[in-house]
Amino acid sequence: MRTVEVGDRPSRSMFSGAAVARMDSIHDQSSEHDPWRSWLRQFLCIFVAALAATYLFVIVIDPFSTGRLALTQHIDRNSGNQFLSKVGLVRDPQFDGAIFGSSIAGALDPSHIGQLTDRNMVQLSFYGVKPKNTLIVARAYDRHHRGSATLQIFILDFMWCDQHFLSQSIFPDWLYEDSPLGEYLSRMFNPEAFSLAVRRIGMWLGLAEPQLPADGFAPILPRHFDEQVARRALLATKPETDGLAPAAPFPAIDELASHLTALDSRSSVLLVSLPIFVNALPPDGSAAALRVAACKERISSVAEQRPKTAYLDLQLDNAMARDVDGYSDWVHVRGSVARLVEAEIGRAAIRSSLPADDRSVVELRDSRP
């Protein structure tokens, strides 16, 4: 056997066998992992393809009936969430009149107002919305009814008199606005959209029912509503006395004025202040009363600046304000008061369509005993 002396340089042949053995071992281990790598690649490809197919399915089924990139322009009321179910109603061509507002307008029956005005009315008020959201819905309705002589009824609550242009953050403005296509596509990829897309297929197959009446009228009473409890609460109501300065700005009403200016000149508009329970009316001379008066004056001014526009002021101390059974709380009308309000709105809406210059403000006479 040859002894390797210190300093001798080992020959290549001395390690060639060991090196080959190690390389063979590495090759064998790599071969063992190849099936796993192949399976992982296949899994990722299938997953991405399924995700893309699901996304395409949601877009073309159009679960909210927006009509964008959809297989059909048919309108379905597919969700129990009114924010989502009324998306299609704003573009429904059968409705030549609409009611806009927050929850205070929810008890107003569009079919009753429609009978009085010879219009096909849709209820486009929403529980929990604020002025900015209401105007977004109104602009969407007008965008889809351009070229038509519509009747637009705005039910204005106390938030329209605020010094800030208030908005409800959870309202899906992007579904009602003419949002950029990229934003629309990015927001449509969510579990609720997929669930409602599947449900819409069920509606087409006769396996699911619409979640909302065709005219959007679905009044909601407070959960566990009790008439006697409501009556006691109403009678115990105390009026607000503090308020913003009368000269403070009215940005929501300014935005409303801009919207009205952009409407088709043939369209009629009615601005309405609904009655509130008499105990909630601010006392004469209080800061709250002065602010309310300034707000009403601003609304009246907006109505006067546009033809075929009227302001119906029902927020007075009158018989409707004193009907304790006509409210679910101090600001939400129901039952008999709601029916009286509908009648007043019907009459005022007809009057607003007349061109006479001296009919831009309509008031219900104070029926105080």
- In the chain, the domains with their CATH numbers are 94-175+215-363 (3.40.50.1110)
pLDDT tens sequence across 220-229: 877 788 899 9
pLDDT tens sequence across 251-273: 999 999 999 999 999 999 999 99
Higher-pLDDT residue of 201 and 35 is: 201
Other residues' Cβ atoms within 10 Å of the Cβ of residue 27: 10
Q: What is the mean pLDDT of the chain?
A: 88
Q: Is residue 308's pLDDT more than 90?
A: yes
- pLDDT, residue 43, reads 84
pLDDT tens sequence across 90-133: 999 999 999 999 999 999 999 999 999 999 999 999 999 999 99
